[in-house]
Amino acid sequence: MTNEGKEKPRFYTCDCFTTDNIYLEEYKLHVRFVSEQQFRLDYHALLKKLGCVRDEQFEGVLNKISQEVDRRKHLGVTSAQRAAAIKDIYRPLHPHVYHLQESYLASEFKQIVEYCQSDSATEEGLLGLLEEQVAPRVYRFPLFDKSFCEDLMEELKHFEQSAAPKGRPNTMNQYGILLNELGFDEHFITPLREQYLLPLTSLLYPDCGGCCLDSHKAFVVKYDMNEDLDLSYHYDNAEVTLNVSLGKEFTEGNLYFGDMRQVPVSETECSEVEHRVTEGLLHRGQHMHGALPISSGQRWNLIIWMRASQERNKQCPMCNRTPTLVEAEGFADGFTKHSDPPQNISCALT
């Protein structure tokens, strides 16, 4: 299940990264910004309806967008600089959590993976081992041992309180940690994806690239009464997403799932899903979802956006166009210059 012996591909981002899906928190709106003229034509009237009525408010929006575009343009360089600084000055509290070990995994999860790796494995058989679908094609299962979650939480809290530089996960999550910068990618996230998650996703999501997930973006998000309380309705820059509840103590804050993003909101019914500590939720990246506000405590979630270059090389999931590739660092946004012959499959809407 690993890619040992294979030449590692070079990954790229799509040029839409600096222009598309810029989130305006105050107005709960994702926008596209190519030029001020285009932005005024596309969004001025809509923003007025949402409460942006004064000229200084609109100028404030333009200023925030300018800052975000500049952040994205320099993201590769600034992220590499942060990672180097973290490696130099940060001393982990629990060094063992950076290397995945089978003892960290729930026994039920290991049994599920073992079944998926068998020659007789089928989707029907796998579904019999998983809990009921909590929403269409959303699957919940025990993933980590509780003691590991506690150690990981202590490590993340230790890093959060350190003087090391920190980057935010994305425009929607203001509080959290980018795990590649902290050093989790090579010995934890990558083997988790390749050796343990890929056997499941190959059976559950073959129509969405689940059998050829070759990169990822992993981060932790934090919800706190004095910080981010919830997460607005959105879809992910991923073919398949894993969302794991790590802790701590919190009340409410359930997840909710609608339909695939191609389905109009007016035709969508949402399903509320309880997210239990140590358990993972698997879902398609283009499946619209959000997080309801917590009412007390603090919650940390591990998010892994898993990407399949074979799928996204055909069409960027964020701009719906053939991607125009831009050089970037690491796994970037999961695009490659060369892909296998296209398959006649696409992510189903049901």
302 strand-pairing partners: 220, 244
Tell the CATH superfamily of the 93-336 domain: q2cbj1_9rhob like domain (2.60.120.620)
Give the tens place of pLDDT for each residue, 259-289.
888 887 777 888 888 888 999 999 999 999 8
> Is residue 224 very low, low, confident or very high in pLDDT (cuts 50, 70, 90)?
confident
CA distance 273 to 281: 10
CA distance 51 to 53: 6
The separation between the first and the last C-alpha atoms of the chain, rounded to the nearest angstrom, is: 28
> Is residue 20 very low, low, confident or very high in pLDDT (cuts 50, 70, 90)?
very high
Classify 107 as helix, strand or coil. Answer: helix
| For residue 337, pLDDT beyond 50 | yes
CA distance 304 to 168: 15
Amino acid in the structure at residue 259: D
The answer to whether 22 touches 63, Cβ cutoff 8 Å, is no
The pLDDT score that the predictor gives to residue 144 is 98
Domain residue extents for the chain: 93-336
Quote the distance between the C-alpha of residue 277 and its chain's center. Answer: 18
pTM: 0.90
Q: What tokens were used for 74?
A: 């320099």
Mean pLDDT within 210-220:
97
The pLDDT score that the predictor gives to residue 226 is 61
The pLDDT score that the predictor gives to residue 170 is 67
Residue predicted with more confidence, 132 or 288: 288
Give the tens place of pLDDT for each residue, 43-84.
999 999 999 999 999 999 999 999 999 999 999 899 999 999
The pLDDT score that the predictor gives to residue 227 is 55
| For residue 315, pLDDT beyond 60 | yes
The answer to whether 200 touches 126, Cβ cutoff 8 Å, is yes
